[in-house]
Amino acid sequence: MRGIRPETVWGTLFFMAVLTAHPGISPAQNVENVDLTFIVASNEGTANTVANPKYNEQLKKMFSYSSYVQSGEVKDTVEFNKPKTVAVPGDYELELTLKNCEEGRCIMRAVIRKGGKDYVDTIISLMKPGVFLLGGPRADMRDLIIVIEMGF
């Protein structure tokens, strides 16, 4: 039986080095923290129960509703290519999938579903830490706003 040639060893090492150097499959970037805040907005009354005071002011500057009621908060993690499903007020479900993370920028897919239909299906490229809002689903004749924070 012939021995393994040095070229074979170097070629294999080179191939492995190239594969492990690819940032998209680095194990250190497989999990990201995600904070979700569910807010029901309406023009009925002037109630404001959003727990995070930072959001209180920002929501008033962004929208023109008179009432913002926080209906839930979820702190969770999303894993690379593993869809994470979270129940959302109004019988919706939110599915988050981390697609890629490279140099502080993450690509994530967010889908809001109800009754087999995609209320919204989007792919976001986000520089950590970052925030974006998904809005519009109706919950008891009010508008639902989902604040998605990532990398905090």
Q: For residue 136, state whether it binds another protein (rule: CB under 8 A).
A: yes
Identity of residue 119: Y
**HSE of 24 in the Cβ direction (CA atoms, 13 Å)?**
7
Q: Which two tokens stand for residue 58?
A: 């920002």
Q: How far is the CB of 84 from another protein (least distance, A)?
A: 18
Q: Which of 79, 105, 140, 152 binds another protein (CB under 8 A)?
A: 105
| Region 38-67 residues binding another protein, contact defined as CB under 8 A | 58, 61-64
Q: Nearest to residue 105, comparing CAs of 17, 18, 32?
A: 32
Identity of residue 87: A
Q: Which residues bind another protein (CB under 8 A)?
A: 1-2, 5, 7-8, 11-12, 14-15, 18-19, 21-22, 24, 58, 61-64, 99-100, 102, 105, 107, 117-127, 130-138
